[in-house]
Amino acid sequence: MNKVAIVGCGWFGLPLAQQLVKDGLLVAGTKRTQQGCDELVQQGITPFELDLSQVNEQTIEHDTTRLAPLFDADVLIANIPPGLRRGESHYLTHIQRLKQLINGHEYKRVIFISTTGVYPSTDKDMFETDATAYDDKSAVLLEAESHFAAMQNSCIIRFSGLIGPKRHPGKFFGGRQDIAGGNVAVNLVHLDDCIEAIRTILQATEKGTEVASIYNLAAPNHPSRADFYQAAAVHLGLDAPQFNHQVLPSKTIIGNLICQQLGFNYIHPDPVKMLDAC
């Protein structure tokens, strides 16, 4: 196993690609613009321009041929941000176009990056089997997962809230007043742990170790929203937010299956201490 294709070299995909290059793997990756592709070349990554919004029935045959060298790999990592919170509505179309472009290629490992948005906000611990289509957005996310779950050797990773360089959470509530749900458990994961989880899965694949079809990724410590976001704001030098007494349902994402099965250890188990690495 020596060639990895990463669809989506953005905030997560690019540092992942950089690390895999350091690990000695041949890495191909996609960006939506030629300028982005030029940046990949500088990082030792073989670039392919791919904007899924520009792929359609008229271009699919040409694009499939053009991108065949990208998808001719041992491992495929699909990292397509859903954009549902921003009101975008083309996620499933993009997923379907990507599946057309893959064109039946088979891989030693397919990794699809998903989100813990598939779990409802209820007062319980959430494990991998607890996902449900509780609203329109979660239904879209689960349908997207199903396209890749059907592929051979697939593994879906559901990231909790992502923080890390250029994603400091202190601005989120900094200085705000009368915020509900200060009791709610925080479910976060650091960029470093996302990268290390992928590396762990690839190493397990290389060794022939059994890999589960789905893993949650969430730091094992879950401070309350009030405690965490007050600390985060102060960490940035902002006024601490003030929470009211309204209690909201509090789900806790359990991300220890990958630890139990593959020996993974979180680099940043405590979200408050993660702030120093943002």
The confidence score (pLDDT) of residue 181 equals: 97
What pTM did the predictor assign?
Answer: 0.96
Q: What number is the average pLDDT over the span 179-206? A: 98
168's CB contacts (< 8 A; 6+ apart) are 232, 235, 236, 275, 278
**Would you say 70 and 59 are in contact if contact means Cβ atoms under 8 Å apart?**
no
Dihedrals φ, ψ of 115, to 5°? -140, 155
As a whole number, the mean pLDDT across the chain is: 96
Q: What is the Cα–Cα distance from 237 to 241, expressed in whole angstroms?
A: 12
Structure token pair of residue 228? 């965490």
Q: What number is the average pLDDT over the span 216-237? A: 97
Q: What number is the average pLDDT over the span 134-160? A: 96
Q: Please name every residue paired with 161 in a beta bridge, in sequence order, or none if there are none.
A: 188
Smallest Cα–Cα separation from 161: which of 245, 78, 247, 232? 232
pLDDT band at 267 (very low <50, low <70, confident <90, very high): very high
pLDDT tens-place string over residues 158-180? 999 999 999 999 999 999 999 99
Residue type, 248: L
Dihedrals φ, ψ of 55, to 5°? -90, 130
88 has a pLDDT exceeding 70: no
The confidence score (pLDDT) of residue 87 equals: 65
Q: What is the Cα–Cα distance from 82 to 95, expressed in whole angstroms?
A: 10
pLDDT band at 1 (very low <50, low <70, confident <90, very high): confident
In the block, which residue shows the tokens 């089997």? 129
**Would you say 164 and 192 are in contact if contact means Cβ atoms under 8 Å apart?**
yes
The confidence score (pLDDT) of residue 83 equals: 80
Task: Show the domains of the chain with their CATH numbers.
Answer: 3-168+187-222+251-268 (3.40.50.720)
Q: How far is CA 238 from CA 164, 170, 174, 231, 258, in A?
A: 18, 8, 6, 10, 36
